[in-house]
């Protein structure tokens, strides 16, 4: 399939063939492509939990309120945001930069910029101090930029960081779904689930958040509920 054919062929499929001899290696390959997705600052604040065993699939189907796309899935993948791992991820990135530095006493401009980014900028955006003081600090910086008429990224609250993580996960989910289609399988992204139930099944720590659960399998024709319809381009695309 060409890329265009692939995009046209992917649909959210709500019924999978439960008798089909599903190749779980297809999910492995799709996930290998998924992690190549663009993501904020390459922080990779994501995790992917593969639900494969019969008992976990059953439990997760309950968490997904019995939806057909969950109930008939051969495998489900839970796309998880991990903003709480930011320190680990920042130091991993820093390590990748420093690994290639030939002379630490004589770093290039680009190497210095990378070091500053993961050592200083990431903690500024992701970090917290007691009593919400870092949020206040970030709001103060934003206010200063407003007063001086300069642009600045106005991330200041924990929710801003949650949005940052969910954006990257959304892109990853699309890479995954297209990759699965390319493997000859179908998917259905789901946000219709009980977050607390689902988090318990995969034993998520506090601070982690589920972005989407994606049901995977061999789609059945009746799994496509209707013709695909979209708004006219002129209602959603604007040229300036």
Ligand X SMILES: Cc1cc2nc3c(=O)[nH]c(=O)nc-3n(C[C@H](O)[C@H](O)[C@H](O)COP(=O)(O)O)c2cc1C
- Residues near ligand X (CB under 6 A) are 11-12, 14, 67, 69, 188-192, 212, 228
Other C-beta atoms within 10 Å of 227: how many? 6
Give the whole-angstrom CA distance, residue 122 versus residue 164.
12
CB 71 within 8 A of CB 193: no
Q: How far is the CB of 121 from ligand X (least distance, A)?
A: 29
Q: Would you say 19 or 228 has its CB closer to ligand X?
A: 228
Distance of CA 5 to the CA centre of its chain: 24
Residue 37 burial (C-beta neighbours within 10 Å; 0-12, 13-18, 19+): middle
Q: How far is the CB of 66 from ligand X (least distance, A)?
A: 11
CB 194 within 8 A of CB 223: no
Q: Would you say 189 or 217 has its CB closer to ligand X?
A: 189
Q: How far is the CB of 221 from ligand X (least distance, A)?
A: 13
- Reduced to 3 states (helix: H, G, I; strand: E, B; else coil), residue 226 is coil
Backbone angles phi, psi at 76, to 5 degrees: -120, 145
The residue sitting closest to ligand X, measured at its beta carbon, is: 192
Give the whole-angstrom CA distance, residue 51 versus residue 47.
13
- Who's near 3: CB < 8 A, 6+ residues apart? none
Q: How far is the CB of 58 from ligand X (least distance, A)?
A: 18
Q: How far is the CB of 164 from ligand X (least distance, A)?
A: 16
Give the whole-angstrom CA distance, residue 19 versus residue 195.
29
Dihedral of CA 191/197/199/203: which sign?
negative
Q: Would you say 122 or 198 has its CB closer to ligand X?
A: 198
Q: Would you say 11 or 82 has its CB closer to ligand X?
A: 11
Q: Would you say 48 or 126 has its CB closer to ligand X?
A: 48
Q: Would you say 59 or 98 has its CB closer to ligand X?
A: 59
Q: How far is the CB of 170 from ligand X (least distance, A)?
A: 7
Q: How far is the CB of 47 from ligand X (least distance, A)?
A: 18
Q: Which two tokens stand for residue 155?
A: 């991330």
Q: Would you say 63 or 90 has its CB closer to ligand X?
A: 63
């Amino acid at each position: 399939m060409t890329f265009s054919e692939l995009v046209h062929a992917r649909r959210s499929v709500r019924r999978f063939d439960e008798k089909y001899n599903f190749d779980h290696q297809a999910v492995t390959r799709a996930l290998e492509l998924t992690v190549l997705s663009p993501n904020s600052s390459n922080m990779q604040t994501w995790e992917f939990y593969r639900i494969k065993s019969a008992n976990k699939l059953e439990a997760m189907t309950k968490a997904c309120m019995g939806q057909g796309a969950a109930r008939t899935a051969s495998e489900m993948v839970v796309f998880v945001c991990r903003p709480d791992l930011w320190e680990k991820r920042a130091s991993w990135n820093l390590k990748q930069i420093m690994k290639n530095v030939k002379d630490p006493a004589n770093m290039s401009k680009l190497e210095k910029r990378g070091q500053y980014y993961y050592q200083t900028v990431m903690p500024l955006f992701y970090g917290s101090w007691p009593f919400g003081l870092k949020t206040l600090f970030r709001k103060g910086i934003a206010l200063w930029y407003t007063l001086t008429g300069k642009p600045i990224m106005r991330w200041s609250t924990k929710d801003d960081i949650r949005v940052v993580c969910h954006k990257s996960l959304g892109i990853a989910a699309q890479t995954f779904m297209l990759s699965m289609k390319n493997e000859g399988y179908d998917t259905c992204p789901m946000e219709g689930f009980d977050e607390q139930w689902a988090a318990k099944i995969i034993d998520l720590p506090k601070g982690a958040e589920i972005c989407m659960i994606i049901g995977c399998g061999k789609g059945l024709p009746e799994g496509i509920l209707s013709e695909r319809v979209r708004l006219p381009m002129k209602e959603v695309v604007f040229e300036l």
